[in-house]
């Protein structure tokens, strides 16, 4: 459990380093367990995570050295708790008989998200400006790690499911105006809303996710009515989303498949909205994309707590 007692930059950086140490230890043990049970694919994935976390360790140590921060040796050990998911979702990720690259990556994503929320909380409550600045930087790093893992998770899911869907891959450079952004968002969020509608009977616990999605969609459509028309590139992006939506509707109505598709699409929406924030040259576009990113993170958090039935 990551401690909330952070008073100095030394406290924060020492906790961050201990967390990375624990990540290396945990992933290494999981990789060994997977190898012993013959689950080579999951073992390889966890071994890759060990290397990633070791790189993070080195970066933190170099950062502390550069800034002249004394790393404490009495701060740990930092003990991980499994993500607070009241289902078999993460237990299967670490169970050699049932784990897979997708489940292993989902487990890793959850832990990156927990670290992100921890650093965000430190940044929000810190009295020391330096601590706040470092915590914000660490939070951004964890958010970036989670985004990369989500992309890997999507690919792993497609491989495990044998998906042949032509998923839309929309470049942030497509978005030049607020009308472009809102039109693409409206199309993407309608796609998710349709998926949620198909899950209404099998997953009533998705009501909060539906509320967030419908809120995003209603706000987007209301603003879209007051802006101009989207440009040609944005229209082509919308057409690709609509083609994808039709394919999803025609392939399967299996609740487990639909729920994992919902997770994957939510991840993709966040990655896109967050990329627009980075690439936007128009302030209105950037601010709108920031707000969307925050709302979609809320949806991802809610989806994290939903059971995958029949896994």
pLDDT in tens, 5-60: 688 999 899 989 988 888 888 888 888 887 877 778 778 878 888 898 899 899 99
pLDDT of res. 4: 55
Categorize the per-residue pLDDT at 131 as very low, low, confident or very high, splitting at 50, 70 and 90.
very high
Q: Is residue 3 in a domain?
A: no
pLDDT of res. 186: 96
Q: Is residue 196 in a domain?
A: yes
Q: Is residue 2 in a domain?
A: no
Assess whether 99 and 176 both reside in one domain: no
Assess whether 134 and 235 both reside in one domain: no
What is the domain-level CATH number for residue 240? 1.20.1260
Total of domains in the chain: 2
What is the domain-level CATH number for residue 51? 1.20.1260.10
User: Which of 142, 161, 180 is at the close of a domain?
Assistant: 161
Assess whether 84 and 27 both reside in one domain: yes
Q: Is residue 60 in a domain?
A: yes
Assess whether 107 and 182 both reside in one domain: no
Assess whether 286 and 155 both reside in one domain: no
User: Which of 161, 183, 207 is at the close of a domain?
Assistant: 161
Residues 190-240: tens digit of each pLDDT = 999 998 998 888 888 899 999 999 999 999 999 998 998 999 999 999 999
User: Which of 119, 141, 161 is at the close of a domain?
Assistant: 161
Assess whether 92 and 180 both reside in one domain: no
Joined tokens for residue 53: 């976390």
The arithmetic mean of pLDDT across residues 119-139, rounded, is 89
Assess whether 103 and 199 both reside in one domain: no
pTM of this structure: 0.57
Q: Is residue 167 in a domain?
A: no
Assess whether 20 and 127 both reside in one domain: yes
Q: Is residue 146 in a domain?
A: yes
Domain that holds residue 144: 9-161
The arithmetic mean of pLDDT across residues 82-98, rounded, is 41
Assess whether 112 and 200 both reside in one domain: no
Assess whether 134 and 67 both reside in one domain: yes
Q: Is residue 198 in a domain?
A: yes
The answer for residues whose C-beta is within 8 angstroms of residue 287's C-beta and 6 or more apart is none
Assess whether 108 and 198 both reside in one domain: no
Is the distance from CB of 19 to CB of 114 less than 8 angstroms?
A: no
pLDDT of res. 219: 95
The answer for residues whose C-beta is within 8 angstroms of residue 192's C-beta and 6 or more apart is 213, 262, 265, 266, 269
**109 pLDDT exceeds 70?**
yes
Assess whether 253 and 217 both reside in one domain: yes
pLDDT of res. 238: 93
Q: Is residue 311 in a domain?
A: no
């Amino acid at each position: 459990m990551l401690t909330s007692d952070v008073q100095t930059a030394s406290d924060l950086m020492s906790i961050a380093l201990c967390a990375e140490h624990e990540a290396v230890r945990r992933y290494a043990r999981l990789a060994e367990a997977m190898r012993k049970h013959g689950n080579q694919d999951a073992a390889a994935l966890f071994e890759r995570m060990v290397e990633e976390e070791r790189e993070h360790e080195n970066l933190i140590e170099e950062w502390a050295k550069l800034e002249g921060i004394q790393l404490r040796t009495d701060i740990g050990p930092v003990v991980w708790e499994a993500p607070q998911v009241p289902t078999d979702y993460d237990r299967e990720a670490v169970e050699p008989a049932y784990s897979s690259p997708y489940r292993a990556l989902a487990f890793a994503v959850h832990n990156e998200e927990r670290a992100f929320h921890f650093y965000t909380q430190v940044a929000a409550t810190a009295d020391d400006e330096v601590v706040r600045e470092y915590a914000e930087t660490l939070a951004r790093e964890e958010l970036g790690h989670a985004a990369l893992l989500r992309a890997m998770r999507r690919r792993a899911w497609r491989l495990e499911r044998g998906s042949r869907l032509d998923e839309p891959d929309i470049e942030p450079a497509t978005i030049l105006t607020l009308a472009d952004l809102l039109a693409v968002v409206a199309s993407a969020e309608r796609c998710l809303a349709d998926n949620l509608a198909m899950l209404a009977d099998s997953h009533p616990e998705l009501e909060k996710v539906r509320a967030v999605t419908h809120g995003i969609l209603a706000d987007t459509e209301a603003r879209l009515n007051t802006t101009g028309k989207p440009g040609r590139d944005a229209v082509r992006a919308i057409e690709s989303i609509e083609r994808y939506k039709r394919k999803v509707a025609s392939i399967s109505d299996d609740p487990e498949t639909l729920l994992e598709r919902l997770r994957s699409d939510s991840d993709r929406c966040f990655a896109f909205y967050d990329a627009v924030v980075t690439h936007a040259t128009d302030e209105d576009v950037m601010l709108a994309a920031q707000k969307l990113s925050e709302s979609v993170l809320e949806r991802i958090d809610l989806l994290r707590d939903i059971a995958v039935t029949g896994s």
